Amino acid sequence: MLKKYEKYKFLFSELVKRDFKKKYKRTILGMIWSVLSPLLNVLVLWLIFSTLYKKDQPHFVIYLFSGTLVMSFYSECTNGCMRALTSNAGIFSKINVPKILFLFSKSVQTLINFGLTLIIYFVFCLFQHLSFKYAIVLIYPIIMMLIFNMSVGMILSALFVFFRDIEYLYSIFMLFLNYLSAIFYPVTIVPERYQKLFYINPVYVFIKFFRMIMLDTQIPGWQIWALIAFDTAFFLTIGCLMYKKYDHEFLYYL
């Protein structure tokens, strides 16, 4: 892996720069949209749902921000990775380069956007007088999210090459995922016997980790750490197996 990185590191860095510039091409605000977009999303959700759940959930704006922060990272990365092969077919059809490189560059580009929004998130937490006692622990879910997002992106990109309907099906899936991730409502409004079902959703587990660190000022139990590791390993295994099986077939469908 290190030898491959050394061989293609220049191409990789250029792909990251290209994806980053392409995202904000012909926009007036440019990189500011990386921060402004999730902030506007939080504002809209806060205006709509604060009257309903503000009393049930202390620091409701941070509760919302935690959810939108993670969901935005997941959505942007997986959607970008889904189209990574089709949009770069002109490159790897002429040059023999690892196709996974295009997904990794897209993932890193979205990680940069996530990092910019994370800074604003911490500023909001500071204004809310929340403790940063265990904030360093967030390194774990961030790294695992990067791997998890790219793993899901590998699956989506492989499917998208063969079935373009995946794009429309995934947009519908994302709509359901937003509602099933407890982004704008507290889990306590759901009957207690059903609350554990939220942990089936990997995105919710990442959101829960952020909320426990910043809102509850406590380190999540080993079960949540293990669940994140399991979910990430599971999707990474499926993604790698799909790329290993269909790697040489992609060119015939692009």
Angle at 204 between CA 200 and CA 205, to 5 degrees: 75
User: Using a CB cutoff of 8 Å and minimum separation of 24, what contacts does 114-121 make?
Assistant: 114/69, 114/72, 114/73, 114/142, 116/31, 116/34, 116/35, 117/34, 117/35, 117/38, 117/69, 117/72, 118/69, 118/142, 120/35, 120/38, 120/39, 121/65, 121/66, 121/69
3-state secondary structure 55-100: CCCCCHHHHHHHHHHHHHHHHHHHHHHHCHHHHCHHHHCCCCCCCH
CB 1 within 8 A of CB 94: no
Task: Count Cβ atoms below 10 Å from residue 100 Cβ, excluding itself.
Answer: 18
**Hey, is 165 helix, strand or coil?**
coil
3-state secondary structure 89-101: HHHHCCCCCCCHH
DSSP result, 23-45: HTTT-SSTTHHHHHHHHHHHHHH
Residue 160 CA to residue 130 CA, distance in Å, equals: 42
Per-residue pLDDT of the chain (254 residues; tens, 9 = 90+): 445 555 666 666 766 666 666 665 665 555 665 666 676 776 776 666 666 666 567 788 889 889 999 999 999 999 988 988 887 767 666 667 777 888 888 888 889 889 988 988 998 899 888 989 899 999 999 999 999 999 999 999 999 988 888 889 999 999 999 989 988 888 888 888 888 999 999 999 999 999 999 999 999 999 999 999 999 999 999 999 988 887 777 766 66
Task: Count Cβ atoms below 10 Å from residue 89 Cβ, excluding itself.
Answer: 17
CB 12 within 8 A of CB 5: yes
Angle at 204 between CA 189 and CA 178, to 5 degrees: 75
Residue 225 CA to residue 228 CA, distance in Å, equals: 5
Amino acid in position 157: S
Whole-model pTM: value is 0.85
Q: Give 172's contacts (C-beta < 8 A, 6+ positions apart).
A: none
Domain ranges of the chain: 2-253
